[in-house]
Amino acid sequence: MTELVTEEAAAEAKPTLAAARLTGGAALLAVLVTALWGTNPTALKIALRTLPPIGAAGLRFAIAAVGVLVWCRVSGVRVRPRAGEILWLAAIGAFFLVQISTFTLGVYWGTAGHSVVLLHTYPFFVVALAHFLIPGDRASPGRVAGMVAAFCGVLILFLGDWGKWQGTQLLGDGVQLFSAFILGAQVVFIKHAVARIAPARVVLWEMVIGSAGFLLYSLAFENLAGARPSVVSSGVVVYQGIIIGTLCFTVWTRLIRRHAASRVAIFGFVSPLVGVVLSSVVLGEPLTATLLLSAVLVAVGIILANLR
């Protein structure tokens, strides 16, 4: 607890974007978080069988917000934002609303396998934006090569399935790619924010703002009150709220604060590989050669883009 209190005091001291060396423990945490995030599109696809999309987002982040609030209380982190933090937190909340909405709709309209590949192109948007917006986090030739590899992965995914989309799948893929861009911008913005605000408070308020917005929208336009979720869907929402929401978002934000944004983003290579396999095993989605090649290229691109 002393370490956590000390970290909050540091976060509220002079703003800094300095990045610590990525230790083995931090790398292991990043792998664990990204592997768990790889399960999210499949979990969401299951939840959406009996829940409306935006309502499902509101429920899981309401659960996550409670978990983060408990974490803040236990660790002694101040919950109420200071006057100078309100605009930062409002902007983070806006990012969160747009990114989670587009991610959720991308899964709803598309497939879990395509979604996990397309969403995890976000590290390349992090690399590109960090080059201009975070001092000392410059793009190298290796990072450019990684971005090219990932772009080829996305291109193969679209060209390989051209004309094969059914219903709203193409719309879902396009929305998911846009969500990846928003997530990349959000990571860079949060890197600046957590240099000024305790990471746990950032996570808490983005989830409070997000869950409130999602639930209000869903109650007004999706008839969330009339939904009858199955036991499985309810369990999946709880899993998303506690594990993916509370645990993953808290750990990820702390990692971004301590280390270079692009250094942490390298471990995103785990998610598309986990997600593609899981979507096939659990949901029975086609595990095509095109999808596998695309996932591998995106994964390799993430690694290349973050090598020195």
Q: Is the pLDDT of residue 83 over 80?
A: yes
For residue 261, CA distances in Å to 70, 114, 136, 172, 213 come to 27, 25, 11, 27, 27
- Across the chain, mean pLDDT equals 85
Q: Give the pLDDT confidence of 109-161 residue by residue, as tens digits.
A: 999 999 999 998 887 787 778 777 766 666 677 777 887 888 888 888 887 76
How far is residue 130's CA from residue 138's CA, in Å, rounded to a whole number? 7
Domains of the chain, residue spans? 23-305
- Regarding predicted confidence, which is higher, 167 or 300? 300
Look up the pTM and report it. Answer: 0.84
Q: Is the pLDDT of residue 4 over 70?
A: no
pLDDT value at residue 20: 65
Q: Place 216 in a pLDDT band, splitting at 50, 70 and 90.
A: very high
Q: Place 5 in a pLDDT band, splitting at 50, 70 and 90.
A: very low
N residues, the chain: 308
Q: Which of 60-69, 157-166, 297-306 has the highest mean pLDDT?
A: 60-69
First vs last Cα of the chain: how many Å apart?
Answer: 35
pLDDT value at residue 136: 67
pLDDT value at residue 6: 38
How far is residue 272's CA from residue 122's CA, in Å, rounded to a whole number? 11
DSSP letter, residue 81: P
pLDDT value at residue 262: 62
DSSP letter, residue 160: H
Q: Which of 23-32, 112-121, 157-166 has the highest mean pLDDT?
A: 112-121
pLDDT value at residue 188: 86
